[in-house]
Every structure is written in structure tokens, then in C-alpha cells.
Structure 1
Amino acid sequence: MKKVFMNKALRWNAVVLLLAMLLFAAGCGADKKAEGTDASKASSGGDTTAQSTLDAIKARGKLIAGVKYDTKLFGLKDPASGKVEGFDIDIAKALAKKILGDENKLELKEVTSKTRIPMLQNGDIDIIIATMTITDERKQQVDFSDVYFNAGQSLLVKKGSPITGLDSIVKGTKVLTVKGSTSAKNIREKAPDATVLEFENYQDAFTALKAGQGDALTTDNAILFGMQKQDPNYEIVGGTFTEEPYGMAIRKGDAAFVKTVNDLLKEMKDSGEYDKLYEEWMGQKPEK
């Protein structure tokens, strides 16, 4: 009886050992497969995002672009019709046409200087086309297209204002700008005596200026030009004191999408379409 019991025990131990060996082998195989996948990713750049954005656009059948709703000439929403129009909007339409063959396969989402990068990183939008200046700091968070518009920061004041430029800004001068913009940073550096008040968007800042809450409004001259057109009682003074090259922002590592956008810009410039759009919105031809 004892012998039979021992034989059964040995057989049971053998089964357990065999199962353990099979599980170990399976684990090793899975590890090697995972290593192979990681190696494959590394050899292709280690990032699948680049292809996935274009794939996502094609799969859903529309491009989702983050644009401004408060910036005349670039992206401004008509409260009556609900339609958003501007230079940036037309660039977005051209991109939708390039990718999907139809400029109407486009969804616009409102962004501000404060919300645009988080919205891009969260996947709420495919691209930012929203008067966004290319900076080294922002390059740490997003990738940029080639420059699609050259602007420079300036000042907007009521006609007859004693402020004629940066030199006129003294202690106590209230300068209005927008949260999260390079303009806020620049004015603090260029006019350290100024009291800087930041608003959520450009329309709020302009409304505050007209209400007498500030002495001047600062941002890129192209945006200020739009405000000046809205109300001729205001004028741009002092010329530009920075260079503000605008780029379209794309999720970090999205090389294929960056190439698609840059190809579009080149095609538009080569065909004359870019110059036509620029002149339509800015009232003058772009500087070469």
C-alpha cells in the first residue's frame, strides 16, 4: 500500500513539474514576443502617433481643427449666423481638402491661448491653427509646421492716447493682453513698469480696453489690425517690437502629419493660393 501511495505521489509531482515547465516556457515566449514588439517600435522611431493621426482623420471622415473664435481676420465667429471665418479657417479647409478631398469635411473647435495645447495633447483636436507663435518652450510640448504667417507684437490704443510706443509705457500704465500668450511674457520683459492685466480671449481684452479698463492692448499686429478694423476709433502705435512666426501645432512625434501640413503649405505657395488668401484677409500681399 505504501508503495502504491509513493508511486501516485511521484506521478503527481511529475505532473506538477511538467505544468510548471510549460507555464515558464509560455512566459518566456511572451517576454520575447514583447521584446520583439518593443524592438520593432524602436527601429521605426518608437512612436506610432505619427501615422495614427492621419489614420484617425480618414477613419472618422473629418479633420478636427482647433481655431480661434474671437480673432478678426484669422478666426471670428459671427454671433448671428454662428459661422466662423478667417485666414486660419481657410487654411484648415485647404488641409481637409488635401487629406479627405473635401474642404467641408472639417470640424472646428474653439481654442484659446490657454486651452489649445491641452486640447491637442488630450486628443480633442487634430491640429492647432490659431495664431500660435513658434517658441522653443512650446516645441517641448508640440511639433510645429513650417511658418505660415509672420507677425510682430505691437500696441493698440484709443486715438489721441499719449501712448505712442513702448517708451510711453510708464509705472501705472495698464496694458491688457491674453492669458497663456507670448504677448503677456513679452510685455513684462519689454515694459517692466507696466501693470499687465490678462483676459481669457482677445474679444474680452478689446471690450475691456473700450470700457476704459486699460490704457493699451498688446498682441500680434495682425490681430490688432483686425480690432482696428472693428473699431476705427483705435489705432496701432509704435511699430513692432518682436518677431512672431505663426506655426500650426501637431502632437509631439507626429512626423507624418507634420509632413502632410508642410506639403500643403508648399503647394499653396507654389500655386498662388496662399497669396490669394493672404491678400483677401489682410488687404495686402505677403512680404517675400
Structure 2
Amino acid sequence: MKLRNLLLVGMLSLGAQATAAFAADPIRVAIDPTFPPMEYIQDGKHTGFDIDLAAALSVKMGRKLEYTDMDFKGMIPSVISGRNDIVLSAIYITDERKKVVDFTDPYFTAGLVVMVKKDNNAIQKPSDMAGKRVAVQVGTKSIAFLKENYPEAIRVEVEKNEEMFNSLESGRADAVVTGKPAALLYSKARDTTKVLAEPVTREDYGIAVSKKLPQLREDLNKALKEIKADGTYDKLIVRWFGKTPG
């Protein structure tokens, strides 16, 4: 009887040690650090909204993060193959991606938005773009979306992101249609423009998680709820975008 008890205690002890060791394992994160303000490299270090968000989640979960930089197209395959556990890199939640990975609850509503000069009162909602000059970047989905949904807008097509913003500042365009994070960051930095409250499209970012790690997904969702409840999330939004979530 005593021997059986000793064996049981030993087994429980080993189980507890294994659980502690698992909890101490770093979360392997796939990331494409080329998308400011969400994630990018500055002074040789990862920085951005997603990086700060990941750090806050790491603290709540009591697990370290281990980043692997790669091209955007390689991130999901790296999780499927088991080389990484999650993708936390401004990735949209889509039905197609849900077939191969799981997603946490959404943590940021992105999509396309309209940005205008601060003193522009003629464009107050997307439908006001009719007959107005709207700058869009070649190669992005903004062009096709405007053609299909806002055909009366006069497209000003430019090659680079900075040209798009410059055309608005110089008066060559009345508005810009671009991704929400970039528009918010620009408006915060320059203080000469504003982002309309009504978005053009709504698309949610989520954390992609290996289908083999359902507990990790639950832990991430729990940590997300906690940082939203204690105000940490709102502080990150204000820090990076200069406004409260909307």
C-alpha cells in the first residue's frame, strides 16, 4: 500500500513538472516585420502595435515569445508544419484561412478607410467621394474596390504609399483610401489629416493558432480579455494611433 502511494506521488510530481516545463516553453511566433505601425524593425529591434500587444499577452500568460521573421506568404505554412505555434502579424481572419489554422477572437478592426485634410467638410462619409479625386496605390485592392463600389469617385492612381499621402497634402487629391493602421498612424504623426469614422470596409485581425494547440488558443483569448478589461489594450491603441478604439 505504501509503495503504491509512493508511486502515485511520484507520478503526480512528474506530471506537475512536465506541466510547468510546458508552461515555460516559449511561444513560437511567425512575423513579417515590414508593416508599420503594426510590426517593423527599428534600431535592430521588433516594434509596433502587434509587438506591444504580444508582450502584454506574454505577461498575462507567463510565457516568453520567440519570433521568427519571414515573408508574409510563409507564415501560415510555418504554423501548419509545426515550425511555429502562432502568427501574430496583422493577419486577417478569413474563412479560407480557418480551414487550416484556428483564430483567436479579433483584436483589431482594420480594413479600408477614407482620409481627408482636417479642414475638409465636403467629405464626411464614403459616399461623399462621388465626383471627388481619391488617391489610391497601384497594386492594392483599393483600386478594384473603388471601381466596383464607388465608380463616381475620380481615382488618382499612384505607385507608392508616400505619393498617395503627398497627393492629399498638396491638394492633387481630395481624399485617400488606404488601410486603417497606416491612415491612423499618418494622421497622428502629421496632425494635418483626419480619418473618417465610417470605414469603407471592415476586416478583423486575429492571431492564427495551430489547430494542434487548442489550449494555446484558449489561453490567448483569456489573456486578450484580461488586457482589455484592465485598460492595457486601450493604452496601446492611444500610444500607436492617438485615439481610443472605435
Separation in structure 2 between the aligned mates of residue 243 and residue 208 of structure 1, nearest angstrom: 25
Report sequence identity in percent.
30
Q: Does 2:57 correspond to 1:92? A: no
In structure 2, the residue matched to 1:168 is 129
In structure 1, what residue type is equivalent to 2:137? Answer: L
Q: 1:207 aligns with which of 162, 170, 191?
A: 162
SS at structure 2 position matched to 1:133: coil
Deviation (angstroms), 1:197: 6.9
Q: 1:169 to 1:85 in 2, by over 3 A?
A: farther
SS at structure 1 position matched to 2:31: strand
Separation in structure 1 between the aligned mates of residue 157 and residue 112 of structure 2, nearest angstrom: 16
Please give the root-mean-square deviation of Cα atoms over the aligned residues, in Å.
Answer: 4.2
Separation in structure 2 between the aligned mates of residue 248 and residue 167 of structure 1, nearest angstrom: 34
Q: Does 2:230 correspond to 1:275? A: no
Deviation (angstroms), 1:207: 2.6
In structure 1, the residue matched to 2:9 is none
Larger radius of gyration: 1
SS at structure 2 position matched to 1:278: helix
Q: 1:276 to 1:248 in 2, by over 3 A?
A: same
Q: Does 2:214 correspond to 1:255? A: yes
Q: Which runs of structure 2 are paired with 1:1-288 in the superposition (5 Å)?
A: 58=25, 61=26, 63-72=28-37, 74-78=38-42, 81-99=43-61, 101-102=63-64, 105-107=65-67, 109=69, 111-112=71-72, 114-123=73-82, 125-156=84-115, 164=123, 165-168=126-129, 175-176=136-137, 186-187=145-146, 189-191=148-150, 205-210=160-165, 217-232=176-191, 235-237=194-196, 239-252=198-211, 254-287=213-246
Separation in structure 2 between the aligned mates of residue 148 and residue 139 of structure 1, nearest angstrom: 16
Compare relative contact order (CA 8 Å, sep 6+) and give the higher one, 1 or 2: 2
TM-score when normalising by structure 2: 0.64
Separation in structure 2 between the aligned mates of residue 186 and residue 280 of structure 1, nearest angstrom: 30
Contact 2:112–2:202, Cα closer than 8 Å, also in 1? yes
Residue deviations 1:56-113, cap 9 Å, x none? 982xx453242543322x22332xx1233222111212333455544xx43252554x
In structure 2, what residue type is equivalent to 1:139? Answer: K
Contact 2:185–2:240, Cα closer than 8 Å, also in 1? no
Separation in structure 1 between the aligned mates of residue 158 and residue 76 of structure 2, nearest angstrom: 18
Q: 1:275 to 1:187 in 2, by over 3 A?
A: same
TM-score when normalising by structure 1: 0.57
SS at structure 1 position matched to 2:238: helix
Q: 1:239 to 1:109 in 2, by over 3 A?
A: same
SS at structure 2 position matched to 1:229: helix
Residue deviations 1:14-36, cap 9 Å, x none? xxxxxxxxxxxxxxxxxxxxxxx
Residue deviations 1:223-247, cap 9 Å, x none? 3111233445555358312222221
Q: 1:220 to 1:173 in 2, by over 3 A?
A: closer
Count of aligned pairs between the two proteins: 219
Unpaired stretches in structure 1, ≥5 consecutive residues:
1-53, 200-204
Q: 1:198 to 1:133 in 2, by over 3 A?
A: farther
